[in-house]
């Protein structure tokens, strides 16, 4: 087989689910991080790989920016041990690069680095690996679909129409006949805003209906709608999960999304 398209032998991983979007700023990494925590809270061995090499944010979201993976001997190979937090095994290029340091890499170098994150890490009996893609449909995404046996992909969008064209590009990539990665569903983020002192009110500041539109177009399921809640961003800034903040609407939505995925996969 051509080495370019040879799948990586990740024997310690049962399911790999990518989280993708066509553009930045939709909260994709926040969704990926809290989805991984939600799956771990259901008792499954869960991993999270930050594939956004040029803008890794997962270490900060988990409050582990200063940590570095330890090494372990496995046979004749030295492998990295993922960083553990909230029951999730985490790997990111952010562990090896200073937060203010830019990666000036061409596509092949980035693809090679991402491949190393997978094949040079010790994955021990992982039930669900969440793969946080960068925005777009570039080299990282292509390398992943060529090298990994992806179980499926979750598309993240925001409600407004201007975001949907970019999301369609991401969805159509996975529907491409040469790729054929199942779209497990759509998550609409920032669906509405509810003031803390008026919990019964909803303000659709980014419009509405975007998640339903994409799910219908690609004949898949709308997995959930996540409201715009200041506590979610504050938790991420402090390295905490959404399960440590008081807004139960967000918690319940992620729990519902996790259960939907567990039923499908």
Domain ranges within the chain, ordered by starting residue: 13-264
Integer angstrom CA distances of residue 53 from 17, 28, 57, 71, 101: 18, 14, 9, 21, 12
List per-residue pLDDT tens for the chain, 265 residues long.
Answer: 344 457 887 888 999 999 999 888 888 999 999 999 999 999 999 999 999 988 899 999 999 999 999 999 888 889 999 999 999 999 999 998 877 777 778 888 888 999 999 999 999 999 999 999 998 888 999 999 999 999 999 999 999 887 888 899 999 999 999 898 999 999 999 999 987 777 778 899 988 999 999 999 999 999 999 998 888 888 888 888 889 888 788 899 999 999 999 999 8
pLDDT of residue 91: 97
CA 15 – CA 98 distance, rounded (Å) = 31
CA 30 – CA 241 distance, rounded (Å) = 9
Contact 61, 54 (CB under 8 A): no
pLDDT of residue 5: 55
CA 140 – CA 121 distance, rounded (Å) = 18
pLDDT of residue 144: 93
For the chain, the first-to-last Cα distance in angstroms comes to 28
pTM here? Answer: 0.92
Q: What are phi and psi of 207, to 5 degrees?
A: 85, -165
pLDDT of residue 236: 83
Angle between helices 230-237 and 28-41 (to 10 degrees): 80
CA 117 – CA 231 distance, rounded (Å) = 31
Q: Has domain 13-264 been given CATH number 3.40.50.720?
A: no
Contact 230, 193 (CB under 8 A): no
pLDDT of residue 128: 98
Number of H helices, E strands in the chain: 8, 10
């Amino acid at each position: 087989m051509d080495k370019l398209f040879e799948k990586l032998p990740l024997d310690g991983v049962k399911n790999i689910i990518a989280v993708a979007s066509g553009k930045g700023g939709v909260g994709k990494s926040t969704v990926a991080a809290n989805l991984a925590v939600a799956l771990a809270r259901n008792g499954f061995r869960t991993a999270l790989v930050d594939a956004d090499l040029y803008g890794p944010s997962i270490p900060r979201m988990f409050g582990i920016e200063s940590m570095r993976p330890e090494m372990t001997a496995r046979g004749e190979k030295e492998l990295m041990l993922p960083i553990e937090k909230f029951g999730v095994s985490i790997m990111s290029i952010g562990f090896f690069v200073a937060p203010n340091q830019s990666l000036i890499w061409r596509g092949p170098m980035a693809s090679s680095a991402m491949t190393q994150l997978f094949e040079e890490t010790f994955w021990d009996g992982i039930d669900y690996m969440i793969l946080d893609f960068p925005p777009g449909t570039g080299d990282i995404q292509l390398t992943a679909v060529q090298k990994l046996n992806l179980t499926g992909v979750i598309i993240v969008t925001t409600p407004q129409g201007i975001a949907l064209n970019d999301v369609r590009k991401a969805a159509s990539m996975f529907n491409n006949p040469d790729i054929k990665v199942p779209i497990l569903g759509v998550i609409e983020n920032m669906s509405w805003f509810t003031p803390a002192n008026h919990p019964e009110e909803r303000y659709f500041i980014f419009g509405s209906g975007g998640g339903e539109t994409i799910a219908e177009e690609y004949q898949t399921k709308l997995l959930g709608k996540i409201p715009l809640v200041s506590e979610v961003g504050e938790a991420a800034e402090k390295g905490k999960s959404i399960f440590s903040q008081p807004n139960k609407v967000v918690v319940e939505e992620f729990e519902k999304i996790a259960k939907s995925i567990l039923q499908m996969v």
